[in-house]
Amino acid sequence: MNVPTVGVLALQGAFREHLNIFDSLGVNTRGVRTSADLAGLDALAIPGGESTTMSRLAADLGVLEPVADVVRSGLPTLGTCAGMIMLADEVIDGRSDQQSFGGLQIAVRRNAFGRQSESFEAQVSMPVLGEPAFPGVFIRAPWVEQASESVEVWGQVERPEGSRIVAVRQGPVVATAFHPELADDDRVHRKFLSLI
């Protein structure tokens, strides 16, 4: 196949870091700000940031429906942290006016890990990536509270409050509650590209 083109939603948040990692993996990359930027993409990434802001900007710039459409039509899509929230069919503790693209049959709890651990690093057990565990950077991260049967659990983290699901895959859609774009480890991005 020709070199694939990966779009990264570039409204706000850590989109540059995703572009840098995809660049380093040898694919073509494009920042996505308008619906025209979605044309011809082989995959899409939605970065971490702030889902309420991303939702508002996506609505203002007219990309809410177009992105929802490409995800629903099967474009391989990676969402990280706020990106996971934007892909979730259900958001618990969201702001009443925030909207998601949806497409991933999970319920996520926003800002789930609570005050003491708003930001932390933890090893995420991800058998699909092999050993070692993935160094997860969590910043006011969500967790997956419910997932439909067609969702594969790809990663879990052990916290004082118990084991939490923090990485999932449903068909061509992958989402992590942590920020692989901020880790010194490109295995999540490489695994995602292998789904294209």
Give the binding site for ligand GLN (CB under 6 A). 48-51, 81-82, 85, 110-111, 139-140
Task: Select which of 65, 81, 152, 189 is catalytic.
Answer: 81
Helix, strand, coil % over all residues of the chain, rounded to 5: 25, 35, 40
* Nearer to ligand GLN among residue 112 and residue 127 (C-beta): 112
181 carries an active-site annotation = yes
Closer CB to ligand GLN, 114 or 132, in the complex: 114
Closest separation between CB of residue 119 and ligand GLN, Å?
8
DSSP string, 92-155: ET--TT------EEEEEETTTT-STTSEEEEEEB-GGG-SS-EEEEEES--EEEEE-TTPEEEE
158 carries an active-site annotation:
no
Closest CB 117 distance from ligand GLN, rounded Å? 13
- Shortest Cβ 142–ligand GLN spacing (Å): 7
- Cβ closer to ligand GLN: 110 or 189? 110
**What is the Cα–Cα distance from 134 to 140, expressed in whole angstroms?**
18
C-beta closer to ligand GLN: residue 75 or 139: 139
> What is the rounded distance in angstroms from the CA atom of residue 56 to the CA atom of residue 166?
25
Candidates 17, 18, 179, 189; catalytic one:
179
Assigned token pair, 21: 């990692």
81 catalytic? Reply is: yes
The 8-class DSSP code of residue 3 comes to P
Active site (catalytic) residues: 81, 179, 181
